[in-house]
């Protein structure tokens, strides 16, 4: 029987009808107010109207359930008794605050009304109680202003209009020759109330309500109404909060922190929300209202000074915060008011925190016995680890730059961390300038494999075009470079070596700073601080005992490793990247992109020679030059990865990526190689493809030019034999890319096996190895059962699989931001696996592959391997490992652990 339902939940004086568990019904704020009462913490009495009423209200044409009125009246009289004051009373009026409160916090999105219950009669009672007419009239005029705005809709009409209440207030100040609100007298404020009410009547045609009960219902309706205001709707969308949840309404007795010098108000945290340190952290203001602390009109005082100001209240506050934290077993963020030396708690909730703080608090709380290791893993979002690994901007310096208007633009936060340096516009300069000791930011319209060395030399990379899996983004993450990609506001001119952005011209050599965590591009240099984790693990300039941050990181990672099932590998093609990944805990290489090895100065020539060769024998001559170089590369990688598997992929990109495209560069190269410029131009022309991503690449290269696969395989096995001979444990896995038909794999696998046999015959050393394939085309996933007849392992190349499933070019998806903005896709499918499409193909691939070869090893090596949501998906699909860029290895370890905890 709906009419008998309970809609209103009272709390006050150590008793409450709700509990912290009732968030769905009472909203976060209401549930915690109830809980604090249950814990005997002083909270002004009040009641919560449940979220069910909100839903009912919207389902019934903005009407309330029949019983609500009676339940509100009843609860209100309990509040009156609890606070020993009466609503509407002429000498000791109870005044109320009306606040929203949904299940999940939506800060500032919905409406609040304070000082409700004031009228020309009750204000006299407030004067009597407070002994302060100015205070009483100031409360009254604030109430009329808030109520007029929120309930009666009196607010600026056009975007150029001023707030009508502020206009009257300004005029009053001018008329009295004062600058600050506080300089207005009680009389001035009293006449403001009248002027406000007159203006409200003129604008709305309605009298401002004097009856406190009418005021109360108006306010309740406005709070329910604010659930559907525009900003609340937008916030819900952004934060995935369902529209059906609705808000609760909290009606609570007002207490005042601005009744004199024995009053105060403040906000505090049970630990430092920025660092996580176990210290009481907060701020307060004497003789002030809550909004004064937040608004920054007066500078608040550090909480510890309260001890001297109001020792009793301070001691009580200390007891309360400890009690709250022990009870909730998490860091609390709370608001309090001290009225006439009496402390009141107004709200408590789990506090928001930085990545640093999240990790420190989780680890400390395990050590304190408050939570267990598994709960600690649940408390840290994998991406928060980023903050521990990257250099960061000095916070104060960055704020200064922001305040000085130095933020130029925003792009995609492709490679997290902070970098500052001189702008250069090409890879060559990046290298040269870096070699002479400059810190540089390489700014390109987009990057290509030719830029690799410059990218490596730069501290940061900034591009105007490209998404999260653009070349710049992918390579930057793998290198651990700070990168902002796709910053379309940049107008870059390579010729004049300058860029224009936000009307400002930045020339080569000028300083900029980029924040790869937020995507901001900032003019000027901002100092950075290196990550302590890296100082311990990689640079070895710190020992663990010297770094608390490192020790916390290390604890968390060890706990994660205990529970995760997925193995974590890395995408690396250089020994230094492999070494970085190892110190981050990588358990092997899941993808070594061999083409990245061909761009160094001494190799690109041989590569180009191979491409330009007329026939097979010409190609073999050039390949013979590449062989020792590749062998040396593989040797150093095997050395670093001693005892761990190394998946090496045969050549993948279209050959034209290895040739220059501009006339001048072509002519230069022709001269260098001793061929006619025309010949070279023709070759470049021949190799040009309309859709190179779908063209002659992947295994199609090795099929047309088997000698390339042969040379690469030989280099792998010669290196492996050599390492094995020296006692290094090598576990090579040779991976064939872009297979769409099992016959492609058969041909390539035959070459690999024959070459392995040949090397074995020459060296007398038998190296155990596996041959497998990437599953990165829909046809490969669909025919995985056929492919698994040949493949000994699968690795899902979800970059290409996303590209080919969506029919969407990785390099040309300029419309992607529009799609995301219009929510056609909930997320960038190159960042997080598209579960319904690409994910379904992965599922099919796994099922069909295992149906033929039940123990087939399956991993993923697309960029998704480092995305926590995708890692969770891989865990559910029963994959054996994920492979990601070195700096994402710790993130994947934690994500895999959290996925295992989810079951
Ligand atoms: C992939 O396609 O997911 C992959 C890892 O290969 P690449 O990004 O080199 O094409
Ligand atoms: Mg691929």
- pLDDT of amino acid 63: 93
Q: How far apart are CA 575 and CA 722, in angstroms?
A: 17
What pLDDT shows up at residue 751?
A: 98
Per-residue pLDDT at 41: 96
The residue with greater pLDDT, 397 or 873, is 873
| pLDDT for res 539 | 85
The rounded Å distance from CA 70 to ligand 2 centre is 67
Q: What is the pLDDT of residues 829-884, one digit of tens each?
A: 999 999 999 999 999 999 999 999 999 999 999 999 999 999 999 999 999 999 99
Determine the Cα–Cα distance for residues 559 and 227; give it in Å rounded to an integer.
41
Q: What is the pLDDT of residue 501?
A: 94
Distance CA 688, CA 666 (A): 14
CB-count exposure of residue 886 (10 Å: 0-12, 13-18, 19+): buried
pLDDT of residue 1: 39
Q: Quick one: pLDDT band at residue 474, thresholds 50, 70, 90?
A: confident
The answer to whether 130 touches 256, Cβ cutoff 8 Å, is yes
Residues with C-beta less than 6 Å from any ligand 1 atom: 591, 593, 652, 776, 797-800, 861-862
On the question of pLDDT at 292 being above 70, the answer is no
Q: What is the pLDDT of residues 663-711, one digit of tens each?
A: 888 898 888 888 899 988 998 999 998 888 899 999 999 999 999 999 9
Tens digit of each residue's pLDDT (9 = 90 or more) over 113-126: 999 999 999 999 99
Give tens-digit pLDDT for 326-347.
999 999 999 999 999 999 999 9
Residue 299's pLDDT is 67
For ligand 1, atom 4, the nearest C-alpha belongs to 797
CA dist 358 and 277 (Å) reads: 10
- Mutate which of 468, 593, 794 for ligand 1? The one with the most ligand atoms within 8 Å of its CB, which is 593
Ligand 1 atom nearest residue 800's Cα: 2
Q: Which two tokens stand for residue 867?
A: 């995305």
pLDDT at 673: 84
Q: Of 471, 555, 596, 875, which residue is the catalytic one? A: 471
Q: What is the pTM of this model?
A: 0.83
Query: Averaged over 798-802, what is the pLDDT?
Result: 97
Assess whether pLDDT exceeds 90 at residue 373: yes
Q: Which atom of ligand 1 is nearest to the CA of 864?
A: 3
Nearest to 728 by CA among 630, 638, 637, 634: 638
Confidence grade of residue 272 (pLDDT, cut at 50, 70, 90)? confident
The percentage of residues in the chain with a pLDDT greater than 90, rounded to a whole number, is 73
Handedness of CA 239, 241, 242, 246 (dihedral sign): negative
Atom of ligand 1 nearest to the CA of 797: 3
Residue identifier of the C-alpha nearest atom 6 of ligand 1: 797
Q: Ligand 1 centre and the CA of 684: distance in Å? A: 24
CA of 738 to the centre of ligand 1 (A): 9
Q: Tell me if 23 sits within 8 A of 14, measured CB to CB.
A: no
For residue 602, pLDDT over 80 is answered with: no
Give the number of the ligand closest to the Cα of residue 739: 2
Sign of CA dihedral 88, 89, 91, 94: negative
Task: Calculate how far, in angstroms, residue 799's C-alpha sits from the geometric centre of ligand 1.
Answer: 5
Catalytic residue among 263, 406, 487, 861: 861
What residue has token string 């509407």? 88
Which among 360, 379, 108, 51 has a CA at the least distance from the CA of 231?
108
Residues 787, 453: Cα–Cα separation, whole Å: 37
Cβ(532)–Cβ(522) below 8 Å:
no
Q: What is the pLDDT of residue 392?
A: 81
Joined together, the tokens standing for residue 540 give 């070895």
What is the distance in A from the centroid of ligand 2 to the CA of 593?
10
**Range of lowest pLDDT (8-17, 291-300, 394-403, 793-802):** 291-300
Say whether 861 is catalytic. Answer: yes
The stretch 482-501 carries a mean pLDDT of 92
Q: Which is nearest to 139 in space by CA: 154, 127, 128, 148?
A: 127
Cα-flanking dihedrals φ and ψ of residue 115, to 5°? 65, 25
Residue nearest ligand 1's atom 1 by CA: 797
**How far does the chain reach from its first CA to its final CA, in angstroms?**
39
> Residues 543-567: pLDDT tens digits?
999 988 899 999 999 999 999 999 9
Does residue 36 carry a pLDDT above 60? yes
Q: Could you identify the atom of ligand 1 that is nearest to the CA of residue 593?
A: 9
Q: What torsion, rounded to 10 degrees, do the Cα atoms 274, 278, 279, 285 define?
A: 50
> pLDDT > 70: what percent of the chain?
97
267 is written with which tokens?
């906000």
Phi and psi angles of residue 126, each rounded to the nearest 5 degrees, phi first: -65, -35
Q: Would residue 696 show up in a list of annotated catalytic residues for this protein?
A: no
Where would I find the H helices in 460-531? 471-479
Residue 840's contacts (CB-CB under 8 Å, 6 or more residues apart) are: none
Q: Is 852 in a helix, a strand, or coil?
A: helix
Could you identify the atom of ligand 1 that is nearest to the CA of residue 591? 5
| Residue nearest (by alpha carbon) to ligand 1 atom 8 | 799
Q: Which atom of ligand 1 approaches the CA of 799 most closely?
A: 3
| CA 448 – ligand 1 centroid, Å | 15
**Predicted pLDDT at 229:** 82
CA–CA separation, 696 vs 786, rounded Å?
23
Of all ligands present, the nearest one to the C-alpha of 591 is 1
157-161, 278-282, 538-542: which range is least confident on average? Answer: 157-161
The pair phi, psi for residue 248, each rounded to 5°, is -90, 170
Q: Are 331 and 270 in contact (CB under 8 A)?
A: yes
Give CA–CA dist 713/640, Å, rounded: 19
Contact 720, 730 (CB under 8 A): yes
**Confidence at residue 528, expressed as pLDDT on a 0 to 100 scale:** 87
- List the structure tokens of 421: 């340096």
Q: Which atom of ligand 1 sits closest to the CA of residue 795?
A: 5
Q: Phi/psi of residue 132, each to 5°?
A: -145, 100
Give the number of the ligand closest to the Cα of residue 859.
Answer: 1
Ligand 1 centroid–CA 790 distance in Å is 21
Which ligand is located closest to the Cα atom of residue 884?
1
* pLDDT band at 298; cut points 50, 70, 90: low
Report yes or no: 611 and 585 within 8 Å, Cβ to Cβ: no
What one-character DSSP code corresponds to residue 305? Answer: G
The whole-number average pLDDT for the span 280-291 is 85
CA–centroid distance, residue 159 to ligand 1 (Å): 49
93-94 and 247-253 strand pairing: unpaired
Residue pair 714/623 in contact (Cβ under 8 Å)? The answer is no
Residue 295, CA distances (Å) to 138, 141, 148 in order: 17, 19, 21
Burial 474-512 (b: 16+ CB within 10 A, else e): bbbbbbbbbbbbbbeebebeeeebbbebeeeebebebbb
Asked whether the beta carbons of 603 and 596 are under 8 A apart, the reply is no
Residue 546 Cα to ligand 1 midpoint, Å, equals 40
When pLDDT is cut at 50, 70 and 90, the band that residue 302 belongs to is confident
Predicted pLDDT of residue 4: 65
Whether residue 886 is predicted with pLDDT greater than 60 in this model: the reply is yes
560: Cβ–Cβ under 8 A, 6 or more apart, which residues?
377, 893, 894, 896, 897
Q: What is the mean pLDDT of residues 19-38?
A: 96
Ligand that lies nearest to the alpha carbon of residue 699, given by its number in the listed order: 2
Say how many C-beta atoms besides its own lie within 10 A of residue 634's C-beta.
27
CA dist., res. 195 & res. 203, Å (int): 12
The pair of three-digit structure tokens given for residue 842, joined into one six-digit string: 């992965």
C-alpha 394 to ligand 2 mean position (Å): 38
Token pair of 307 as six digits: 């001890």
Ligand 1 centre from 570 Cα, in Å? 13
Two structure tokens written together for 20:
């912290």
**Torsion angle (degrees, nearest 10) of CA 804, 807, 813, 817:** -110
For residue 776, which atom of ligand 1 is closest to its CA? 2
Where do we find the tokens 């150093």? 636
Residue nearest to atom 10 of ligand 1 (CA): 800
Find, among 779, 705, 797, 793, the residue nearest to 742 by Cα.
779
Looking from the CA of 126 toward its CB, the CA atoms found within 13 Å total 28
| Pair of tokens at residue 715 | 């280099």
Q: What residue's CA is closest to ligand 1, atom 9? A: 593
Tens-place pLDDT, residues 49-82: 999 999 999 999 999 999 999 999 999 999 999 9
CA torsion, ordered 163, 165, 167, 172, to nearest 10 deg: -160
Task: Provide the CA 155 distance to its chain's centre, in angstroms.
Answer: 35
Cβ(648)–Cβ(752) below 8 Å: no
Q: How far is CA 400 from CA 236, 393, 395, 504, in A?
A: 32, 11, 9, 19
The 10s digit of each residue's pLDDT in 86-139 is: 999 999 999 999 999 998 877 666 788 999 999 999 999 999 999 999 999 999
- Closest-lying ligand 1 atom to the alpha carbon of residue 862: 3
365: helix, strand or coil: helix
Could you tell me the CA-to-CA distances from 464 to 472, 505, 515, 605 in Å, in that order? 10, 15, 15, 30
Residues contacting residue 281 through CB under 8 Å, at least 6 positions apart: 268, 269, 270, 271, 272, 273, 303
Q: What is the pLDDT of residue 2?
A: 46
Q: Which ligand is nearest to the CA of 474?
A: 1
**Residue to mutate, 477, 598, 799, 882, ligand 1, most ligand atoms under 8 Å from C-beta:** 799
Q: What is the per-residue pLDDT for 717?
A: 98
Q: Which residue from 473, 692, 699, 800 has its CB within 8 A of the most atoms of ligand 1, so it is best to mutate?
A: 800
Closest-approaching ligand to the CA atom of 590: 1
Q: Look up residue 148 and give its two tokens.
A: 């007029």
| C-alpha 708 to ligand 2 mean position (Å) | 18
Q: What angle do CA 397, 402, 405 make, to 5 degrees?
A: 130
């Amino acid at each position: 029987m709906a009419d008998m339902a309970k809609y209103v939940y009272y709390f006050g004086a150590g008793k409450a009808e709700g509990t912290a568990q009732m968030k769905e019904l009472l909203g976060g704020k209401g549930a915690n107010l109830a809980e604090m009462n249950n814990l005997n913490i002083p909270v002004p009495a009040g009641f919560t109207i449940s979220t069910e009423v909100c839903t009912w209200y919207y389902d019934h044409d903005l009407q309330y359930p029949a019983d609500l009125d009676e339940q509100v009246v009843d609860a209100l009289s309990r509040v009156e008794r609890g606070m020993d004051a009466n609503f509407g009373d002429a000498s000791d009026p109870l005044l109320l605050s009306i606040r929203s409160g949904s299940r999940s916090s939506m800060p500032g999105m919905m409406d609040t009304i304070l000082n409700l219950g004031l009228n020309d009669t009750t204000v006299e009672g407030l004067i009597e109680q407070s002994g302060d007419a100015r205070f009483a009239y100031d409360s009254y005029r604030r109430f009329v202003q808030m109520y007029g705005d929120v309930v009666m809709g009196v607010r600026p009409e056009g975007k150029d209009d001023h707030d009508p209440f502020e206009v009257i207030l300004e005029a009053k100040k001018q008329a009295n020759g004062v600058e600050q609100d506080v300089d207005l007298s009680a009389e001035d404020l009293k006449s403001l109330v009248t002027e406000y009410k007159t203006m409200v009547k003129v604008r709305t045609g309605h009298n401002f309500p004097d009856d406190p009960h009418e005021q109360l219902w108006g306010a309740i309706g406005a709070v329910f109404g604010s659930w559907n205001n525009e900003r609340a709707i937008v916030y819900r969308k952004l934060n995935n909060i369902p529209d059906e949840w609705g808000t609760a309404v909290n009606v609570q007795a007002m207490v005042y922190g601005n009744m004199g010098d024995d009053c105060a108000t403040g906000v505090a945290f049970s630990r430092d929300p920025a660092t996580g340190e176990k210290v009481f952290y907060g701020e307060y203001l004497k003789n002030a209202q809550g909004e004064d602390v937040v608004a920054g009109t007066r500078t608040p005082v550090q909480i510890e000074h309260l001890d001297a100001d109001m020792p009793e209240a301070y001691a009580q506050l200390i007891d309360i915060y400890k009690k709250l934290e022990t009870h909730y077993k998490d860091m609390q963020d709370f608001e309090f008011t001290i009225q006439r030396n009496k402390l009141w708690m107004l709200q408590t909730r789990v506090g928001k925190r930085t990545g640093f703080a999240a990790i420190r608090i989780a680890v400390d709380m395990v050590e304190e016995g408050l939570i267990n290791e598994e709960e600690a893993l649940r408390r840290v979002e994998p991406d928060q680890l980023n903050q521990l690994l990257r250099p960061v901007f000095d916070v104060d310096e960055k704020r200064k730059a922001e305040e000085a208007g130095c933020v130029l633009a925003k792009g995609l936060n492709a490679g997290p961390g902070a970098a500052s340096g001189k702008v250069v516009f090409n890879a060559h300069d990046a290298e040269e300038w870096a070699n002479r000791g400059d810190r540089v930011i390489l700014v390109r319209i987009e990057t290509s494999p030719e830029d690799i060395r410059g990218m490596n030399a730069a501290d940061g990379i900034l591009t105007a075009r490209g998404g999260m899996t653009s070349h710049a983004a992918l390579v930057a993450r793998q290198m651990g470079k700070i990168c902002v990609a796709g910053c379309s506001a940049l107008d870059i001119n390579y010729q004049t070596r300058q860029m224009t952005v936000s009307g400002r011209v930045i020339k080569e050599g000028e300083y900029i700073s980029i924040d790869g965590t937020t995507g901001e591009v900032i003019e000027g240099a901002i100092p950075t601080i290196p990550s302590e984790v890296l100082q311990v693990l990689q640079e070895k300039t710190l020992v663990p005992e010297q770094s608390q941050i490192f020790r916390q990181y290390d604890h968390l990672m060890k706990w994660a490793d205990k529970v995760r099932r997925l193995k974590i590998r890395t995408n690396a093609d250089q020994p230094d990247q492999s070494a970085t990944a190892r110190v981050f805990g990588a358990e092997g290489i899941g993808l070594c992109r061999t083409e990245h090895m061909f761009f160094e100065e001494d190799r690109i020539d041989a590569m180009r020679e191979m491409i330009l060769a007329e026939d097979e024998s010409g190609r073999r001559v050039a390949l013979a030059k590449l062989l020792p170089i590749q062998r040396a590369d593989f040797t150093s990688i095997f050395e670093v990865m001693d005892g761990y598997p190394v998946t090496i992929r045969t050549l993948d990109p279209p050959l034209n990526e290895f040739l220059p495209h501009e006339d001048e560069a072509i002519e230069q190269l022709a001269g260098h190689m001793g061929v006619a410029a025309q010949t070279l131009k023709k070759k470049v022309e021949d190799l040009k493809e309309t859709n190179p991503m779908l063209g002659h690449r992947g295994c199609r290269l090795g099929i047309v030019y088997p000698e390339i696969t042969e040379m690469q395989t030989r280099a792998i096995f010669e290196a492996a034999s050599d390492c094995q001979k020296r006692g290094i444990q090598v576990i090579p896995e040779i991976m064939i890319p872009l297979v769409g038909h099992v016959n492609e794999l058969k041909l390539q696998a035959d070459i690999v096996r024959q070459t392995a046999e040949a090397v074995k015959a020459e060296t007398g050393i038998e190296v155990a190895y596996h041959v497998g394939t990437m599953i990165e085309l829909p046809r490969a996933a669909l025919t995985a059962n056929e492919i698994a007849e040949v493949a000994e392992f699968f690795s899902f190349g979800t970059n290409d699989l996303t590209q080919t499933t969506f029919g969407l070019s990785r390099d040309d998806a300029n419309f992607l931001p529009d799609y995301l903005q219009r929510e056609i896709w909930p997320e960038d499918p190159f960042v997080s696996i598209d579960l319904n499409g690409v994910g379904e193909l992965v599922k099919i691939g796994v099922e069909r592959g295992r149906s033929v070869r039940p123990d087939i090893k399956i991993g993923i090596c697309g960029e998704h391997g480092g995305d926590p949501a995708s890692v969770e998906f891989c865990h559910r699909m029963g994959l054996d490992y994920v492979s990601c860029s070195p700096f994402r290895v710790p993130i994947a370890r934690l994500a895999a652990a959290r996925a295992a905890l989810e079951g």
